[in-house]
Amino acid sequence: MSELHFPFIPLPQESLILFKTNFSSSPSPASVIEILKDNRAFYRVLEVSLSEFSDGQNLEKAIKVLGWSNFKERMTSLYVHKVIYGEYPSKTQIQLIEDIKHFENQFRDHSVTGFSRLFLLGFYLKLANMELQYSEEHSTDIILGPEINTILKMSQGRSEKIDWLLLIIYHFNIFLGTEVLLGLLKKSKSFEDIYALLLPKQLTVLANNMLAYGASIQESDFFLYEKI
């Protein structure tokens, strides 16, 4: 099997701030504008591409019409278009991120309401797999299949840092197999117990991939705190 390799993907600063912020309710257009306004070039791209939703008015109007969820999806589709075609489109093309939306919905029941970390992870995975396909290393695509949901159901409650939790489970599942991992969880084995079962090479792969993801989203919590 090809090496399991997570590439470093420099994700847009605006997306990182918005998707990692805890919006207990739908954020106000003004609070979103406050985060976006420093990047004047991209702000203008948003104004143009979302003008059909603003009746010729400003971006705040478009955000209000679309709502937070729809706006974040359309904003992300602009970045994906830029990666694929080398330029921003004049209108958003939501079909470009249908797989990200599906990913978010797949694990929504295990995430804390208010955060968009599932969407953030889906965004990273889409760009990461595109990068892997373009590279000459022939690394394995990063795909979180339905078995991950089965494993997640073994736990109770929701996780604020669901992205980190999913990636840890993903690696454990690949290294140990679903049947073995489920058996360990049924025996109430902790993540520390499971981690101790990994081979040195597997530990290196896990560490390297977590570092790549942490660098991509500009976050080091996984390495600094025991609880994720």
Quote the percentage of the chain above a pLDDT of 70.
92
Taking only the tens place, the pLDDT of each residue in 13-31 is: 999 999 998 886 678 899 9
Q: What is the 3-state secondary structure (H, E, C) of 84-118?
A: HHCCCCCCCCHHHHHHHHHHHHHHHHHECCCCCHH
Taking only the tens place, the pLDDT of each residue in 149-169 is: 999 888 766 888 999 999 999
pLDDT at residue 1 greater than cutoff 50: no
In a domain, 164, yes or no: yes
Contact criterion met (CB below 8 Å) for 220 and 211:
no
Q: How far apart are CA 32 and CA 17, in angstroms?
A: 10
In a domain, 227, yes or no: no
Q: In the structure, what pLDDT confidence band is assigned to residue 47 with cuts at 50, 70 and 90?
A: very high
In a domain, 4, yes or no: no
pTM of this prediction? 0.92
Q: How far apart are CA 189 and CA 134, in angstroms?
A: 39
Question: Which domain covers residue 208, as residue numbers?
Answer: 13-219
What is the average pLDDT value for the chain, to the nearest integer?
Answer: 90
In a domain, 226, yes or no: no
**Residue 160: CB partners within 8 Å, gap ≥ 6?**
112, 115, 117
Contact criterion met (CB below 8 Å) for 146 and 24:
no
How many H helices and E strands in the chain? 13, 0
Beta bridge partners of 159: 111
pLDDT at residue 82 greater than cutoff 60: yes
- Write down the residue that tokens 């760009």 correspond to: 127
- Stated as kind and residue range, the H or E segment containing 4 is none
**Residue 134: CB partners within 8 Å, gap ≥ 6?**
none
Give how far the C-alpha of residue 113 lies from the chain's centroid of Cα atoms, to the nearest Å: 15
Q: How far apart are CA 92 and CA 110, in angstroms?
A: 29
Taking only the tens place, the pLDDT of each residue in 115-162 is: 899 999 999 999 999 999 887 665 678 999 889 999 988 876 688 899
> Which tokens belong to 218?
């500009």
**Residue 91: CB partners within 8 Å, gap ≥ 6?**
49, 52
Quote the percentage of the chain above a pLDDT of 90.
73
Taking only the tens place, the pLDDT of each residue in 87-96 is: 999 999 999 9
In a domain, 21, yes or no: yes
In a domain, 26, yes or no: yes
* DSSP letter assigned to residue 218: T
> Which tokens belong to 142?
């990063």
Averaged pLDDT for residues 34-40: 93
In a domain, 196, yes or no: yes
In a domain, 113, yes or no: yes
User: Per the structure, how many domains does the chain have?
Assistant: 1
